[in-house]
Amino acid sequence: MKNPLLLVGSFIICCCGNSQNSSTDYPEVDTDAINMELAAVTYAETITTNELKEYLYTFAGDDFEGRDTGEPGQKKAAEYLKKQYKRMGIPSPLGGDDYFQEIPASFFRGGIKSSENVLAFIEGTEKPDEIVVISAHYDHVGVDGNGGVFNGADDDGSGTVSILEIAQGFVKAKKDGLGPKRSILFLHVTGEEKGLYGSKYYTENPVFPLANTVTDLNIDMIGRIDKNHEEKDKNNYVYLIGSDRLSTELHDISEKMNSIHTKLDLDYTYNAENDPNRFYFRSDHYNFAKHNIPIIFYFNGVHEDYHKQTDTADKIEYDLMAKRAKLVFYTAWEVANRKDRIVVDGIGKE
């Protein structure tokens, strides 16, 4: 944090200066930045409860057989995501019709078959080489011996379909001539449940250099309410993990976007250094963080249906999920459009 006394001092000097000088000394107003901030609201509103619901009832339906890594259900889910991006007119960074980053079976342990990450991309208008990643895993744990499906609606159907809605917001903006200044990569990773394989593979075989990767905003479970927040006055929340660890600026942007727009209670309980759950290390963002890329992990906490066949689409809190998805959208929008790349000032402090 900056020293508050210094801030007060410079404010006084500034005021005296203005009273003596002509009005031409006022700082220039960045109208472009203001217009972009206003536009963010328009495109955030394209994230709707109904669309999230429509996507999730399909994506977490029995047809996708629990999306087990390397199995037919996961392949079906990958095709479904590709179809949505094509429909929205969002290209793949891999070129042509290929939206899949193939991961060979040899990369996995335990007899898992080859699998794929799904990638879609909106190129930045001013700094196309700087990449903002929005990620979520789309695999889950499959079926049991009796054919019972683990639908994984919250884990992580919620993150997956939120990305589709966020992507829609950005592509609509782009079509209106208000595309992001930095590029955005929508990264649907596989193999998370088996050991964060998809994000590990991506960060070891990045499509864009990690040095140019500005942040990873990772969503894993944002559709439910955990035990700590069941009471009515407590359920407007999301856990944020890692936001301040590598970039104080990223944390400040996230806080600011929330206070202006989404007004969720940001719960940092699981961000504590000594948190016994160690969630910071337990989802895909960690593979970015270990390369010193600032991350935020968005999470609703665990609940009674976690990794059970009862994690189904009918139990999702769609209004709350839309609000959480909007927070990710606003944060990505600001990081992608602001003048300077966010600073990385937390290396070694973790």
Nearer to Zn ion, 130 or 154 (CB): 154
- Closest distance to Zn ion from the beta carbon of 69 (Å): 12
By CB under 5 A, the count of residues binding Zn ion is 3
Nearer to Zn ion, 160 or 254 (CB): 160
Interface region with Zn ion, contact rule CB under 5 A, candidates 37-45, 103-111, 218-226, 253-261: 218-226
- Closest distance to Zn ion from the beta carbon of 307 (Å): 9
- Closest distance to Zn ion from the beta carbon of 136 (Å): 8
- Closest distance to Zn ion from the beta carbon of 267 (Å): 18
Nearer to Zn ion, 155 or 216 (CB): 155
On whether the CB atoms of residues 60 and 157 are closer than 8 A, the answer is yes
**Which residue's entry shows tokens 């991309």?**
121
Q: Which of residues 63-122 bind Zn ion (CB under 5 A)?
A: none
Interface region with Zn ion, contact rule CB under 5 A, candidates 25-33, 142-150, 213-221, 261-269: 213-221
Nearer to Zn ion, 121 or 280 (CB): 280
* Alpha-carbon dihedral angle through residues 221, 225, 227, 230, given to the nearest 10 degrees: 170
- Closest distance to Zn ion from the beta carbon of 346 (Å): 25
Distances (CA, A) of 289 to 165, 263, 340: 25, 26, 20
> For Zn ion, which residue of 116, 220, 249, 311 counts as binding (CB under 5 A)?
220
Nearer to Zn ion, 155 or 334 (CB): 155
* Close Cβ partners of 262 (under 8 Å, ≥ 6 residues apart): 323, 324, 326, 327, 330
Helices (H), the chain: 4-20, 31-44, 49-59, 72-88, 159-175, 192-195, 197-204, 248-257, 285-289, 318-337
Residue 330's nearest CA partner among 253, 269, 277 is 253
Nearer to Zn ion, 156 or 334 (CB): 156
Nearer to Zn ion, 130 or 284 (CB): 284
Give CA–CA dist 124/115, Å, rounded: 29
Token pair in block for residue 197: 């394989």
Q: Which of residues 141-200 bind Zn ion (CB under 5 A)?
A: 155-156
- Closest distance to Zn ion from the beta carbon of 221 (Å): 6
* Alpha-carbon dihedral angle through residues 274, 279, 281, 282, given to the nearest 10 degrees: 150
- Closest distance to Zn ion from the beta carbon of 218 (Å): 10
Residues lying near Zn ion in the complex (CB under 5 A) are found at 155-156, 220
